[in-house]
Amino acid sequence: MNGIVSIIKPPGMTSHDVVSFIRKCTGIKRVGHTGTLDPGAVGVLPICIGKATKVADLITSQQKQYRAELKLGIITDTQDSDGKVLDIRKVSISKDALADVIESFKGRIEQVPPMYSAVKVQGQKLYELARKGIEIKREPRQIEIKDIRIIDIDDKNDTVLFDVTCSKGTYIRTLCFDIGKKLGCGAHMSFLLRTKSGMFDMEKSITLEQFKQRIENESINSILIPVDKIFEHHPQVVVTPIIEKKVLNGMQIPLNAIESKEHLKEGIQCRIYNAKGDFLCLSQIIKKPDHILYLKMVKSFF
């Protein structure tokens, strides 16, 4: 079994718990997730199975979309509602001022990873230190908030519901904390739903119960997304059996040995298939000192 399935992670489970569930259902050890979701968060979590684990890093690096709730006036040690309350402040902010501050976070910004995170510093995970009551200096990281839009402002409960599209490595709870800090009243994240991860969204995702049912009735293959779907925007190249053997041996293939190569240029990455339609690898066209173009394997899937 090889492919990608997008799971709707339920609350209370870690991303690793979901991986363990998939392994138990399938009996397959090569299973990996594509971007950690906190236990309290829910939503889209693409899972790579078998050879598809080779593209886990690629999916992880793609942009994400979330719907989050910001709770104003309360600061917690974890920057979300699961943490210990550190401070409670009065909230007195106009909707216009709130909108202006939230809008100011759009674009490339620096964000300091929270202590309660899996980021490693000198070989230790930050959350392990945080649980011991140890706080250390963390270097800021550059992230990008590609879009952020307010959905609803609840004056009665001092909450703000908003949608955000962001780059890899963005902590939404830290975003909420930083917004609260800039407003002066403090804040934490009280709800988080990941609505999209790369090409995967809620409509393309299933629950763990649905996954288990499909395993039991042997219909899982009908919803597994083949790994080459991730690269569908790259041109396709079909090779002859003779060239296929060279590809399988890791050899670089002269471009003039490929038919229908008119659309291929230096620097382009392309999908390589054999005559049977099996996806072999992702290759890139390079130019050697002899000025001849070659197909060089980037990642194999055979």
Catalytically active residues are 38
Length of the chain, please? 302
d(CA 12, CA 38): 9
- Residue 30 tokens read as 């090569």
d(CA 37, CA 47): 12
Cβ-based neighbours of 286, under 8 Å, separated by 6 or more: 252, 266, 267, 293, 294, 296
Q: Helices 172-183 and 95-103, interaxial angle, to 10°?
A: 130
d(CA 76, CA 122): 25
If you search the block for the tokens 């299933």, which residue do you land on? 206
